[in-house]
Structure 1
Amino acid sequence: MGLPMCCCGAETVDEASTPNEGNASWRIFTYKELYAATNGFSKDNKLGEGGFGSVYFGKTTYGLEIAVKKLKAKNSKEEMELAFAVEVEVLGRIRHKNILGLRGYCAGKGQRLIVYDYMPNLSLLSHLHGQFTSGEVRLDWEKRMNIAIGSAEALLYLHHEVTPHIIHRDIKASNVLLDSNFEPLVTDFRFAKLIPDGVSSMTTRIKGTLGYLAPEYAMWGKLSESCDVYSYGVLLLEIITGRKPLEKLPGGVKRSITEWAEPLIIEGRFKDLVDPKLMGDFNENQLEQAIKVASLCVQSDREKRTNMKEVVNLLKGYEELALERASEDEGGHDILS
């Protein structure tokens, strides 16, 4: 791994940031520092919790607001070590305006913690389905499209610009954080895969989140950059519609957002797809383009999906999208088939 490890129980650490080749700056924190910054990892400071562990808000002695991910050994200590190593290694390699960079880490005495800058507007999930969904709508149409484009640019960078290329493997609303200006930053690289030159796909253990997984990956573990493209398409539909990737129907049956959207898209009823919370305030041309882009991303056949370069160009209006390409595949089947 390209980053040095240290014992987080050490009493002292150099206050200066430690430069590295890929990221802006990072440093090694002591456990004592992070314990103090998070008020002893108190419940009041907890921002969220998942299978990986918990994330806490913190404030350092020199006033920096941080988010501290405290990993836990869900299945085994080895799995926790691997998740920590992968995320720190990947974040040490990359730098992009729409990727949440590494602020630092702490490793030692059975503890694995990763430190990031704190994002005051929390996650996209919290605005679409969480604590910010009541009251005044904070995500208007313009912000939503900006978030969609910024998230796409992060994936374009991972897939096409950084070497080796990186597959994120867990693109979803909770992994898109929002800064004070609602600029999106993609986060959580613990499942990321670095793809060697000349390799376009591989078979691997299935990781990620139900509702966002590409069919070939969910069923057979066949991983490629196209799996991220599929996940992004689901995310784009989620941004447009305000609906969850999976919803429970009466009787316990689950329906995906693509299954719900497909008949409306086929019939050209694009306006009926828009999140009702927007009260009809959206750009119709952007809506049509975004729906068509999402449709190209969530094709069941990965060979018929688009790529992130084209996604960014289409969403920014650099390329025109032929209606017939988005509305049917080569065999004349439905839009999301």
Structure 2
Amino acid sequence: MRHRHLVALLGYCLDGNERLLVYEYMPRGTLSQHLFHWKEEGRKPLDWTRRLAIALDVARGVEYLHTLAHQSFIHRDLKPSNILLGDDMRAKVSDFGLVRLAPDGKYSIETRVAGTFGYLAPEYAVTGRVTTKVDIFSLGVILMELITGRKALDETQPEDSVHLVTWFRRVAASKDENAFKNAIDPNISLDDDTVASIEKVWELAGHCCAREPYQRPDMAHIVNVLSSLTVQWKPTETDPDDVYGIDYDMPLPQVLKKWQAFEGLSQTADDSGSSSSAYGSKDNTQTSIPTRPSGFADSFTSVDGR
């Protein structure tokens, strides 16, 4: 299996007691280092744009595991230390030692409970039965960590705030208008756009960590929500001096002359040796034109229904 947001397996070794897996090198280390240990390692804290991009990368990698690969897989151990970063700070999911094939449909399978406390979905921790929804829960916890800068389990916090999901739900239910902003990682620089983006991810994280599996979204929905918050392509302003720009107020013969003058052409034969022609006015006056470049005058090739 290959995906740009899954760490690639390069090879393996089975030689006596030597049992090795060789993965591509990810020079920027783990998300955990950048999120929780940046001070000790002399790094800068991640800004919100980078955190959002990392979350989207992880979601796309897990979406491939769940629905886009030749079979459906459950990772079972999503957490920041299993998310690796390349030189470009793009994220890839790693550590597939607990991966299981997902059952067809919405059925769950029973397996030995494994993973990391704090990221385990409640139904999995209690019953040992898993579906792809256990990965959704884990990703929800990661989103909470990206927003708050707090660990899934943090023994340094007061007893009622050790478990991030429990604390997060309490903040979400609070009637204190400042509770939300106070919960955001203070290392994130806030402006109106950033706050609005965090609010949407906050809501998404809450849905991902819903108590019942059927209440959680699927990974495709998560990808759609996160991708809508990243920088989107926008068309540039039309350059009025662009020779191929269409001036809808200019008569067709003048448009053609403008293009011909730019190209230094007056008449160009088509592939068969005969010149192309178009009707430039309603009296069916023919104007000889060169073969048009791709995309040129597409909006007015039909005149008088011809």
Q: How high is the TM-score relative to the length of structure 2?
A: 0.69
| C-alpha separation in 2, matches of 1:288 and 1:227 | 23
Per the alignment, residue 270 of structure 1 pairs with 180
3-state SS of paired residue (2:9): coil
Q: Which residue of 1 aligns with 2:23?
A: 116
Q: 2:161 touches 2:167 (CA, 8 Å); kept in 1?
A: no
What's the CA shift for 1:176? Answer: 0.3
Match of 1:308 among 219, 225, 249: 219
Please state how far the C-alpha of 1:192 moved relative to its aligned partner: 0.1
CA contact (8 A) 1:241 1:274 kept: yes
Q: Distance in 1 between matches of 2:90 and 2:157?
A: 37
Runs of 4 or more above 3 Å deviation:
131-136, 196-199, 249-254, 279-282
For normalisation by structure 1, the TM-score amounts to 0.63
Q: CA RMSD in A?
A: 2.1
Partner Cα distance (1:254, 1:292) in 2: 19
1:304 positional shift: 0.8
Q: Distance in 1 between matches of 2:160 and 2:199?
A: 30
The aligned runs of 1:100-179 (5 Å cut-off) are 100-132=7-39, 135=42, 137-179=44-86
Structure 1 counterpart of 2:255: none
Q: What do residues 181-207 of structure 1 show as CA deviations (whole Å, max 9, x unaligned)?
A: 110000000000012444631111001
After superposition, residues 1-337 of structure 1 pair within 5 angstroms as 94-132=1-39, 135=42, 137-198=44-105, 200-248=107-155, 255-267=162-174, 269-280=179-190, 283-317=194-228
Look up the SS of the partner of 1:283 in the other structure. Answer: helix
Contact 1:164 1:196 (C-alpha < 8 Å) held by counterparts: no
Q: Structure 2: how far apart are the matches of 1:147 and 1:164? A: 25
Give the deviation of 1:244 after TM superposition: 0.4
| Partners of 1:293 and 1:315 within 8 A in 2 | no
1:335 matched residue in structure 2: none
Distance in 1 between residues matched to 2:172 and 2:154, nearest whole Å: 19
Cα offset, 1:103, TM superposition: 1.2
Distance 2:222 2:101 in 1: 22
The CA distance in 2 between the partners of 1:141 and 1:113, in whole Å, is 36
8 Å contact 1:124–1:177 — kept in the other structure? Answer: yes
User: CA 1:302/1:157 → structure 2, altered by over 3 Å: closer, same or farther?
Assistant: same
Change (3 A) 1:152 1:212: same
In terms of Rg, which structure is larger?
2
Whole-Å separation in 2 of the counterparts to 1:206 and 1:295: 23
Greater share of strand residues, 1 or 2?
Answer: 1
Residues 148-198 of structure 1 show CA distances to partners (whole Å, capped at 9, x for unaligned) of: 111011111111111210000000000000000110000000000012444
Give the C-alpha shift of residue 262 in structure 1. 1.7
The 3 A distance-change label for structure 1 pair 252 and 198 is closer
User: How many residue pairs end up in the alignment?
Assistant: 225
Letter aligned with residue 165 of structure 2: T
Q: Contact 1:264 / 1:272 at 8 angstroms: preserved in 2? A: no
The AA in structure 1 aligned to 2:66 is H
The Cα offsets for residues 129-159 of structure 1, whole Å up to 9 and x where unpaired, read as 1255565524111110000111011111111
Q: CA deviation at 1:273?
A: 2.2
Find the aligned partners of 1:251 and 1:257 in 2 and give their Cα distance: 11
Answer yes or no: is the 8 Å Cα contact 2:61–2:93 preserved in 1.
yes
Q: Which runs of 5+ in 1 are unaligned?
A: 1-93, 319-337
8 Å CA contact retained: 2:109, 2:130: yes
* Alpha-carbon contact 2:140-2:204 (below 8 Å) kept: yes
Contact between 1:126 and 1:132, CA under 8 Å: does it hold in 2?
no
Instruction: Assess if the C-alpha contact under 8 Å between 1:248 and 1:255 holds in 2.
Output: yes
Query: What is aligned with 1:74?
Result: none
**Deviations for 1:85-122, whole angstroms, at most 9, x for unmatched residues?**
xxxxxxxxx11111001011111211111111111110
